[in-house]
Structure 1
């Protein structure tokens, strides 16, 4: 009986060595005598000692950081760009058979694709339309890594390093743009104010008393301030009489009726009744 103990120990050891436990997010690619069988897991799997070999593959999404890449854009601006790539293994067998190290291969193809895409667009497009650049890089990466069983979920540009000279030039451009907008807004305000003043002038020309009402309103606003000095304006009719001349000043107004004075005609005396307004003198025979 004791002679079977070493054999039993060997059997138990081989049995324990042949058992494997895979997590929910893991798959095991099984090679038997060098030939692939299938991908097993998750849970408990049994391997034949010596003849079976297993390679674990994780199916979780991997976030890979792309280091800074020196890029010259289409408008000849030198920048540094880095990004982050989110991908996962969709087909474990292809990820093991088609490429030696899918992590390293994905990292290298991501770097070259990022340089190629950023070098084919202008700097303004990278800064203003970053989502389009991300989508283009993702499409190219997905097309290259698809035969490897890799699915690229997302690509995001993380940081764009601009030279100091370019940063100063962009700051000057932004300042000039702000000044241009301010001048346009100021000009539009002057135009609207001129249009309103023209309308007010038309109203005052039709109703001259509106100017006097405006004078009174201004005086009331000035009198509301305790430190203000009130100056009474000169009536416009008084000033107009100087500019119109003496002939116009002596002309009768519409509110006054002209007074007619009768002059005696030659040959007629004061007592002549033909003279309008003459007084009859008493006669001697009366």
Structure 2
């Protein structure tokens, strides 16, 4: 009897609580809290499902197969078609198609493949969704050139060798036989050549324009060839130092001006020693 009476009192208390304004607010608050917790876990489940399913969808969707490459080239002697063909061959070898899914493309590997092309100095490769690849290439600029058999090669500021077409305004080197394309030239006299030509360009621009060839067949004696119609050899030696070279070239400038003024033709001028030798 007492148990039933206690239960009745509890039910009565709950009814009184529901009837009161504060009681209704508390019940509503608890209900909303439960709804929020349930909603939170539902959202977490949806997000997890999307995370799991999205990559497989993106990797397999035909909407993301590459259908175009936009190539921009700055400097050097590089055709856009060369870069595009190189990248297509890379795609074909790695993905068995020239139109792989854009998300499957390894950007670092593709960039490295183009960067290994000897004429390329810098390259940037980016995806542009949904189906484009953007490639920005900076070509190597030759500072000097040389010829082996029927092929011309350029040497850039970094001493890298790469094939080029003949350019009349480039300084021609001779005496180079063994090379490795895309690698730094290993010839002992090449540093002397760069220092020599740069110093001449600063001291006497007319002389630098008159040079038609530099012979480095003997790395111990870099030879300038000037005046193509009436050639004169300038023996410069090796292991050149800028300070002493500047003084020698100033003296050479005076000598050559005297030859021109007096209409003299000489075979060579040797500036390797303290006393300049003329023949």
Same fold per superposition (TM over 0.5): no
TM bracket (short chain): under 0.3
Bigger CA radius of gyration:
1
TM-score, normalized by length of structure 2?
Answer: 0.22
Higher relative contact order (CA 8 A, sep 6+): 1
TM-score, normalized by length of structure 1?
Answer: 0.22
